Chain A
């Protein structure tokens, strides 16, 4: 029942927030209440799973027949569900003063519910339904509340991800039909190598666009830059994780042979993403675009970790996903807060914010250090594990990824130097972070530190599940 609440609370509060549209303060309060309620339930689910030997499950039966509503939370999905709940609350706090509050809050909560449903789905049809349902609120958030080029960005976002997911649907249908074991995601299905390859690539089409890997990434910078802050936080924080989650949840168990065959290619895509994202980030003048490209790089590490098919690599991927969710969420929050004050995101327009906005600058430096993978903060353990697993699996070519690590230092510190240090720009933002903004930042920052110091916070929960996945992936390689 806990699992149903994780989806039901945001859905119900979304409807209420929409209904209260003419009273913005009600919408706000309802949205915050819903987001915090979901977060509390996610915490409960976490403690339930930590104390249990088996995944949490929920299955609805109507008149003795199973339906598509079948949910499951295990060590792979629950960290992402908790991340979604946390970022959902942060996103609500970010968009406190947004215009047309009611619809905006409703879309945010609907988005949260849909993403949560993706992570919790234990039925292939439900998984696809939730996957597509994510598109609708995000499409309206970008198009309705985005910046200058929002119409183009919204259509591009939808077209790219819908193209991927249309192929994914064919893959899912092929999986259901050739597996012959119904629509359950935990069915033991053995497919012929030929079918596996087709199913794998159809599914991967949807997942790789979503992650995104280079060269399928071009929707991401546009969508990120044009999206309102709350949209960017959810997009970078949790939507990108859906792709990596999908590979681990569907491709590894259902098509292990095809996954093993594609592993070197996936690793290559991961490394290309790491380097390409870093190089592109180095060349950006727009802070938001910089963070967007750094997301491509960080997700490259996640793909690299997954491609190894080992427990260590999977742990690196899960840690990397949670960490990137926290760090990118924090960075987009900060960039959004700065834009609200200065109405520009051009790195060149700022300087000396360390003096004029000391609190903002402190948090920005902190988040940047977490982003470049400083040991002791959350970015480090995941990327380190992915690299180690990558070296063990694929040898010296992975050293290229080291270049990306060095570049990450370069682009991050360049941004920090330009924005935080130097001559103060007098005509820009004067108002430092408010109490509401600090309330949103504190949990993110605390978790970034906690995860950096004690990564077992997540890996202990995930271990059993990832072990099982690694066994499945290892059976063939």
Chain B
């Protein structure tokens, strides 16, 4: 392994690692607010540095075990921003809770592992970052501290342990057949290896990613974990690791390790995972009564679109990265919005019905959350549309018109879920629910001018980003987005 790293890789990572170390020291001295603040600043600083390198630096540089430049630097920075926003939104929660600074630190470490995973060009880096992200994930879910959260974390952990086992087998095969830990070298050797064991290796590695991304058939942990962990932690879990996972999979399947002709069945395998995810995710959303569970199923469906794009071949590289980018911003925004709802209505139990009448009490928050929901649906003028559009383009371009039609139908089904959130906030209670219920909701809303605080501010910022990313390309074209995020 070459240890010379480009600045675009190590500067953001060092900022985050430094901030986490400093934060834990501050926590050790009992300065919880300072600790959380330092960690948030470290994450946002890392993002700023990353964007600086992405804009000014050379695109697509591979040095040693890491790729950097353009998308390989800008997409992790999006992860840092969203992780930073999650910590800012959770500031009050983290700064007043003895476990809080550790949770914030976990989020930051997770963003760091996500960066490593995304930029990885080496199997050892891949393995370490996957394992690191998994540990961060279990800890964040368990960290919420409730009995249900611990139960979910254990279930998540057991499933994760199986996935880790598969990882070990998969990487052992890749190493044995490929003879190197470097993607490029191993990939070249794998192309000439015996087809059957090579395909087994592919299947094992894809299973690992399916678990990590929450795709069918390893999706069961997602709704549970998202519902039980605290909202700011999920805002991170549902965003940065997804970007990293999808890009890492793209690099492995479409660029390096499994690129050769032997691995043509990868497309069928990915399509199967994608279709299953779309079905379970989209239809699963329809039956939910709790918003966080609904968003969990939404995450499964959205990963389905990303996998479809990857299955579409080279045409799907751009589509998958744009899709997961817009999804991650939306998902982070949605969970941060839930944190804001909790502020506005301290007695909120997380149910859809509990959102009734929110548009009257918190018009800004409701508007932002509605925009986020419509973006996740893929409605134009919002960022999510471009992701869906490019997935459709990739599918049609590679002759998979019927899968494109199926993906369109899934988007319609998913509106049943996203729309129900909007319906609950805006369209008032059903007529059989009397005015009393509305009154009750009114009294639940905290009277003393609590307006949502930092979670509200972050939600609104993210909604504005979603709207600008959705509308601006109509006027400016998509060129700037493509050049900043190209892989």
Contacts and interface: CB of A to CB of B under 8 A. Distances in A.
Nearest to A195: B401
Contact of A198 (B401, B428, B430): B401
Contacts of B397: 177
B427 A126 contact: no
B276 interface: no
Interface string A190-214: 0000000010001000000000000
B423 A60 contact: no
Contact of A133 (B381, B396, B475): B381
A437 interface: no
Contact of A62 (B374, B422, B477): B477
B479 interface: yes
B350 interface: no
Given A158-B415, A170-B401, A128 B474 contact: no
A169 B409 CA distance: 11
Interface in B440-487: 473-477, 479
A84 B475 CA distance: 24
Interface stretch (B28-36, B186-194, B234-242, B385-393): B385-393
Interface residues of A, number: 40
Contacts, number: 99
A170 B475 contact: no
Interface in A122-179: 125-126, 128-130, 132-133, 135-136, 139-140, 143-144, 148-151, 154-155, 158-159, 162-163, 166-167, 169-170, 173-174, 176-177
A129 B426 contact: no
A65 interface: yes
Contacts of B477: 62, 65-68
Nearest to B473: A68
A69 interface: yes
A60 B412 CA distance: 32
Contact of A151 (B412, B415, B427): B427
Nearest to A161: B412
B475 A154 contact: no
Contacts of A174: 396, 401, 404
B381 A129 contact: yes
B324 interface: no
B180 to A, nearest CB: 38
Contacts of A166: 408-409, 411-412
Contacts of A150: 427
B408 A159 contact: no
Contact of B412 (A126, A163, A176): A163
Contacts of B380: 128-130, 132-133
B431 A148 contact: yes
B371 to A, nearest CB: 9
Nearest to B403: A170
Contacts of A167: 405, 408-409
A170 B419 contact: no
B419 A155 contact: yes
Interface string B331-361: 0000000000000000000000000000000
Contacts of B427: 143-144, 150-151, 154
Contact of B385 (A129, A148, A202): A129
B60 interface: no
B327 to A, nearest CB: 17
Nearest to B409: A166
B419 A158 contact: yes
Contact of A170 (B374, B385, B396): B396
A69 B474 contact: yes
A159 B401 contact: no
Contacts of A198: 401
Interface in A22-71: 60, 62, 65-69
Contact of B393 (A68, A148, A158, A177): A177
B379 A135 contact: yes
A198 B422 CA distance: 34
Given A129-B380, A132-B379, A151 B475 contact: no
Contacts of A148: 431
Interface in A330-387: none
Contacts of B385: 129, 132
B415 A129 contact: no
Interface in A93-142: 125-126, 128-130, 132-133, 135-136, 139-140
Given A128-B380, A129-B380, A169-B389, A162 B412 contact: yes
Nearest to A150: B427
Contacts of B203: none
A65 B427 CA distance: 43
B361 to A, nearest CB: 14
B43 to A, nearest CB: 33
A67 B477 CA distance: 5
B288 to A, nearest CB: 15
Contacts of B430: 151
Nearest to B429: A151
Given A148-B431, A151-B430, A155-B423, A177 B474 contact: no
A181 to B, nearest CB: 15
Contacts of B416: 155, 159
Contact of B426 (A128, A130, A143): A143
Contacts of B374: 136
Those 7 A-B pairs whose CB atoms lie nearest each other, nearest first: A166-B408, A129-B380, A143-B427, A163-B412, A132-B380, A173-B392, A67-B477
Given A151-B427, A158-B415, 15 more contacts: A65-B479, A68-B473, A68-B475, A126-B474, A129-B474, A143-B426, A154-B423, A155-B423, A166-B409, A166-B412, A169-B389, A169-B408, A174-B396, A176-B393, A177-B396
8 contacts: A68-B477, A126-B474, A132-B379, A132-B381, A155-B416, A155-B423, A158-B419, A163-B412
Interface of A: 60, 62, 65-69, 125-126, 128-130, 132-133, 135-136, 139-140, 143-144, 148-151, 154-155, 158-159, 162-163, 166-167, 169-170, 173-174, 176-177, 198, 202
